């Protein structure tokens, strides 16, 4: 199930689909305890679909809109990669210097 397909669904449809998948997941988990499943990867697919559905539902609730195709994406500042003890010490020293300039 693709996120763009989910975004076209209403909140009630999303909740119904989540309940349906949770019921199927429960039944598969019970069945896996007593016998081998025909498609054991179905559990993983269901779990990921439920997560995807809940994510899109949360986006709808808090009002996050999907970025328009024509709009430019906001620029991101590249984070400095800090590795090793010396890198962490240097990063901490830089941060201390920045804080002292602000004060």
The residue ranges of every structural domain in the chain are 3-62
| Per-residue pLDDT tens digits for 18-56 | 999 999 999 999 999 999 999 999 999 999 999 999 999
For residues 88 and 82, is the Cβ–Cβ distance under 8 A? yes
Q: Which of 15, 49, 17, 46 is nearest to 29 (CA)?
A: 46
Assessment of whether the complete model's pTM goes beyond 0.75: no
Q: What percent of the chain has pLDDT over 70?
A: 67
Residue 67 scores a pLDDT above 60? no
Q: Look at the domain 3-62 and name its fold.
A: Helix Hairpins (1.10.287)
For residues 28 and 37, is the Cβ–Cβ distance under 8 A? yes
Strand positions, DSSP E, 26-92: none
């Amino acid at each position: 199930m693709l996120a763009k397909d989910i975004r076209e669904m209403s909140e009630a449809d999303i909740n119904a689909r989540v309940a349906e998948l949770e019921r199927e997941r429960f039944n598969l988990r019970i069945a896996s305890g007593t016998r081998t499943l025909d498609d054991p990867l179905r559990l993983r697919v269901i779990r990921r679909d439920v997560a995807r559905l809940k994510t899109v539902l949360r986006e709808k609730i808090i009002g996050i809109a999907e970025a328009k195709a024509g709009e430019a994406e906001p620029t991101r500042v590249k984070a400095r990669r800090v590795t090793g003890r010396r890198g962490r010490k240097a990063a901490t020293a830089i941060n201390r210097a920045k804080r002292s300039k602000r004060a």
